[in-house]
Structure formats: C-alpha cells, structure tokens
Amino acid sequence: MRLRQPTVACSLSVVLCVPAHAEARDLGRDTLPANDGWAAEGAGTTGGAAADDAHVFTVTDRAGLVRALDGGSDTPKNNIWLTAATHVWVDHVTLSDKGHPDAKEPTDIARTYLRHDGPPDITNGSDLVTVSWSRFTGHGKAMLIGNGNGNGNGNGNGNGDTATGDRGELRVTLHHNAFESVVQRAPRVRFGQVHVHNNRYDATGDDYRSSLGVPTESRIHAENNAFHAPGHVEVADLVESRNGSALHQSGTLFNDFPVDLLAIHNAYNSGSERDLTADVGWTPALHGPIDSARAADRAVARGADAGRIP
C-alpha cells in the first residue's frame, strides 16, 4: 500500500495526483527505495506501482473521493487512517484542517464537538510504515501511533495503555516531514518502535502542548530533528511522557542550538512525570543516510509538501 499526493490542489487525494511537469516521470509507478524506513522490511512496499489506469485517481472533492474508494471493494486502495494495515508508504502528502481547526468547531454541553482527529493515525496493530517528505499543518492532534482506547477509535483517551496486542507491531519511520502549527502528537506513540529522524517542527501557536508523546511502552528513537519555537515555548515543552519510560534522542536542534531533550525533560518535569531513560531497546537499521539536523531543516523546508517532488 502506498499513498502519494504530489499536488497541493488535491487535498482529498487517496491514491495519486500527477502534476503536468512530472509527465516524464510516472510517479504512480514509484516504489519505496531499499532501506527507506520500516516499510522497506522484507519484500518492501510497491503499493500501486502495478495498478492499471482505471485504478489511478486524481481527487479534488468529496464526490471524487467516494468514487475512488469504490464502495469499500477489495480492490487495493489507500485512506489516511491506517488500521491493521501493513507495508504502507505515505510520501509527499500535505494534510491540514483547511481552515476548520478544533477551536472553531461547535460545542455540545460546554465541550468542543470534534469531528476529526489525527491526519494520519496509525492504529490497531498497523505495522511496517514509512511516512516521508510530507507536511502536516494547522492541526490539533497530528499523529497517534497506537490505539487510543483499546477499541481502535484512535481518539487518544481512555485505556489505550492496555492495548497490549499492539506489542511487536506499530513499527513506523517518520523522516523529512514538516510539522507546522501542530498542537501535539507529532507523533504520540504507544507500544511501537518508531524512528523519528530528520524532521522539522515549527511549534507555533498559543495552544502548543508538545511534539513527542511518550506513553506506555513507547520506543521512540529520535535523531537529528530541528525544532523552531517562539519565546513562550521551552525545550522542556517538546516532550510529554504520559506514563512512558524511555526516549532515545540525539542531534536535536532547538532554535538552531543543540539541546539534549532527554536531560532537559528529566530536569524540568517537576515530578509530574517519571524520568525517562535513554534505552529504548532497539536501534534502527532500515534507513538511508541520516542528515544533520541543520541540513535536514533546510531540505524539509524546500521539499516536504505535496507540490514539491523534484
């Protein structure tokens, strides 16, 4: 399975949108390169590379999306919430609230009535996923990896910490992605082994809460990521442990200065969260060359978006 969306105009795309300038290169036939994250495990991910023309779609509105989904038929296709999915490559997509943030949603019994959650939530034992060169912007809860409450609805509340069936699954790589004006969950991980490297974070907005969520049995290996934040956001705000026990981090930049997220989290959590250790129990092996955070910062600013495939 693979999701490509190389044009900004196709905000609802489910399979493929090819810009005119890319006619010489059939992006719909691309396959995931060797060693490009967890989705390259085993036979790798070819997605729709062999799809016939009848199953390649350009979607620009809801009606087109419904037609592309084909009434839930067994024909291979993509959506952006991954549940019990394996070997998935999400590449060069742009996802946002498109002017409908949580703050503007209606209320019911004095609570905001939320009609959307993470743009790409990865739940219910999904496994072997690579998310690369994509842009997530203007959203409250960007990406939950692991069940929200043990029943697969992905809302991040309740007793998701008891979804022990996710152990051994949820192996995900996030690289060269841009997270802009995202309040939290970039990502939040339960149980999964998640490699987070060479991403760019712009932690803007008065309601910013955190970027890396580390709940129960989270095994995040974060390296060479770049964070940009205004004055009211501190390094200690970037990590929220939420019953987690470990976080590997290295090569982190905060407003262009090197920082140790783990040490700062442990020093400033004021006892409200447990200290995190650096031993997450695994070392990523499936990846290409890892850029410095500074180089990745520039590369992501230029190339992570639906309209920026070279």
- 148 sits in the region (left: phi over 0; alpha: psi -120 to 50; else beta) called alpha
DSSP conformation letters of 128-147: EEEEES-EEEEEEE--EES-
| Number of residues that make up the chain | 310
Convert 77-93 into a string of H (helix), E (strand) and C (coil). CCCCCEECCEEEEEECC
Distances in whole angstroms, Cα of residue 1 to Cα of each of 85, 90, 238: 8, 9, 32
Q: Is 185 considered catalytic here?
A: yes
CA 221, CA 216: separation in Å to the nearest integer?
Answer: 15
Please check whether residue 282 is in contact with residue 251, taking contact to mean a CB–CB distance below 8 angstroms: no
Q: What is the DSSP letter of 180?
A: E
Task: From the candidates 4, 185, 219, 242, give the one annotated as an active-site residue.
Answer: 185
Helical segments of the chain, H only: 62-69, 261-268, 293-303
Coil, strand or helix: which one is 124? coil
Q: Indicate if the alpha-carbon torsion angle 4, 132, 255, 209 is positive or negative.
A: positive
The strand pairing partners of 127, in sequence order, are: 86
Peptide bond into 187 cis (omega under 30): yes
Q: Tell me the H-state helices in 146-274.
A: 261-268
* Residues annotated as catalytic (active site), given as ranges: 185
